[in-house]
Amino acid sequence: MAAEPIDPRIVAAREAFEKADRARLTARSRLLNAYGEVLKESGHNPEDITVPVDGWNCEKSPLGKCAYGFFEDPSRDDCIFCHEPEERK
């Protein structure tokens, strides 16, 4: 018994989803690369810093987001710019 062909609406929706997902991944990569460049320019090693993509806005940060020492502050208690924790009380 031959399998039924996939409905064209499903094929079109899946293609649109995959295209959007690739665009999101490309945009995320560009954002992280820009964070790295700005961190280097401000005297930080981007390999030692983590910037949560959905993190807090930070007026003191040239990134516009809070950033934390990856090794020195794994619990993200002290933004390197504003010194606020990721988990705001």
User: 44 CB contacts (<8 Å, ≥6 apart)?
Assistant: 67, 80
Instruction: Give the count of domains, the chain.
Output: 1
By C-alpha distance, which of 31, 76, 29 is closest to 50?
A: 76
User: What's the domain range around 15?
Assistant: 1-89
The whole-number pLDDT of residue 73 equals 94
Q: Report the distance separating Cα 84 and Cα 89, nearest Å.
A: 10
The whole-number pLDDT of residue 1 equals 66
Which residue stretches of the chain have pLDDT < 70? Answer: 1-2, 89
